[in-house]
Structure formats: structure tokens, C-alpha cells
Amino acid sequence: MKEKYSQAHVVSKTVSRDSSGIYIAKDYTDADNYFNNRLHCHNFWEFNFIISGEGLYTINNENVEIKRGMVYLMTPADFHACSLSGSESFVSYCLQFYPSQLDENVSSLLYSSPVPIVFQADEEKIGAFTETLDRLVAVFDEKGPFYELFARNSIENICILLAQEVNKIVRNSDVSSVVRNAVVFVKDHYREKITLHDAASNARLSDAYFSHIFSQVMGIGFTAYLKNFRMNAACELLNSTDLSVKEICFSCGFNDPNYFSDSFSKRFGISPRVYRGRFGKSRGDKEKKG
């Protein structure tokens, strides 16, 4: 199952039940779930830990198995879909949180992964994750003193563990190192006028060789990846700021508002202004004219 990125659904808000912006629950899902077989991305991080169930996750055009003990961390840059199969009930812990709730150093390390953040936990880690998440769910349901602080600390600890796993996967791979650095380069410079040549020069490789390595590892060309990243950033600004569409266009590295609006509409099926009206934060004042 591979759905075009232009048809991806954008999720702008966590399903938090309070003002924390954090969602944590032990979820029971079936094939009738709205997001089953539906490619989407969102402006927050999502951690999933599988207790039971079968199927496939498609993450940035790469298929990974769904089974007991699998761990997945979706960044705001990841397009993904869940395709459930089999008769076994799909049960997982789901944790959603905004980028601002994660330490910048940890966030940068996780963002730098050239491959989806997915791994199979062994029995020891399954027990540790289950214990940690059960406690987090209980604390969040009780909402006692400092429950939000406890949640943020738990999120950071979980993400540090995942960052350590990511580091194990990529530390001995020169190819992965090249792509990892390219992803960080995009994150640091996407607001500027950068090209494939700039990224290749930063990696000290020829344009052709860099392009080949990046596409081979990521499953998408560098230019398309850069454009997708900028679009995600634009969604975040449309959702959380009062900047005009024109200001957001330039803030995200686009230099033509008409091209930006057309590209946004082709990618998400709605214009930037319609997206803001549908998914943006509630406010009484109208958007500044761009």
C-alpha cells in the first residue's frame, strides 16, 4: 500500500484530553479505525509500542512489520500508514506530544536518523516499556500534582532510550552517516535557499553520488525530501502562529507565494488558508492579509 504524498492527511492536534497537549493511553484498535490504510503525517511526535496485532506500517514508503514488541517513533517529518491484518486484536500504547515538549538535543539526534525509528524490543525491554507506560498512563489518568512534569520527564527518558537504539543502528554505517548529516543539514537550513548541490558539498561528495546515496537510503529524492520538510514546517506555522501565508511561505524557504500555495494544495488537497481555517488554532482575529 503506497498512497501519494499529495493525498496525505495532515493531523495538526494530538488527541489530548486536557490542556497538556500530551496523549497517553493503551489503545485497542480494529480495521475500521479512521487511520487504517490512510497515509498521514502530523505536527507532533507519536510513539507506539505494540502489545499484540499483525500488519504493516508504511513509513516514508518503507514497509515494516507490525508484531508484539515492535517500537515505532514517528517524527513530524514522517508520512505513515497502518495496515492491520489477521484476526489478533491490535493493542498498543500510544504516546503523542509536541516538539516543544522534547529536549532539543534529543530531538536533533532523533531527527537525524536516516531510517524510520523502528526496532524490535527483546523480552527485557518489553517488560521495561510496559512497566514505564503503565505507570505513565496511571499518573496521567489520576492527574495528581506535577503529572505534566512527570509525563514530560517520561517522554524524554523514552526518547533517550530510542536515540540510543538509533545510534546503534547507524554508528557503523558510512552511508547512513552521510544521509544522517544531510537530514540535519535540511533541518538547520531549510529556511534558506539550499539545493542538492549545497547538501552534496556539505557532505563533500559529488552531486550525483550524494543523490544516489540519499535516494537509496531514504526512498525519496533529496529535492522532494526538502520540499516535504518545508511543507511540514509550513503546516506547523499555519497551525500555531498568526503569520500570513506569504510570511510563512518565505519563512519555510519558498520564494514564490503562488508556487507555495499551488504546491501546498497539490500536496494536501486544500489551500494554506483553508488548512488554517480547518486545523489552525482558534482565534478571533482574521489572518493578516498576505
CB distance 138 to 192 below 8 Å: no
Directed axis angle between helix 104-111 and helix 147-170, to 10°?
A: 40
CB distance 81 to 127 below 8 Å: no
Domain count, the chain: 2
Report yes or no: 49 and 208 within 8 Å, Cβ to Cβ.
no
Looking at the structure, tell me whether residues 144 and 240 fall in a common domain.
no
Same domain, 151 and 185: no
Total-model pTM: 0.67
**CATH at 119:** 2.60.120.280
Q: What is the pLDDT of residues 261-285, one digit of tens each?
A: 999 998 888 899 998 888 765 443 3
Q: Is residue 289, in this structure, part of any structural domain at all? A: no
Q: What distance in Å separates the CA atoms of residue 25 and residue 47, rounded to the nearest whole number? A: 11
In a domain, 57, yes or no: yes
pLDDT at 176: 65
User: What is the predicted pLDDT for the residue at 102?
Assistant: 86
Going from the C-alpha of 282 to that of each of 36, 42, 241, 242, 285, the distances in angstroms are: 28, 18, 10, 11, 9
Q: Is residue 256 pLDDT above 90, yes or no?
A: yes
Domain end position, chosen among 149, 170, 191: 170
Tens of pLDDT, residues 199-239: 999 989 999 999 998 888 777 899 999 998 898 888 878 87
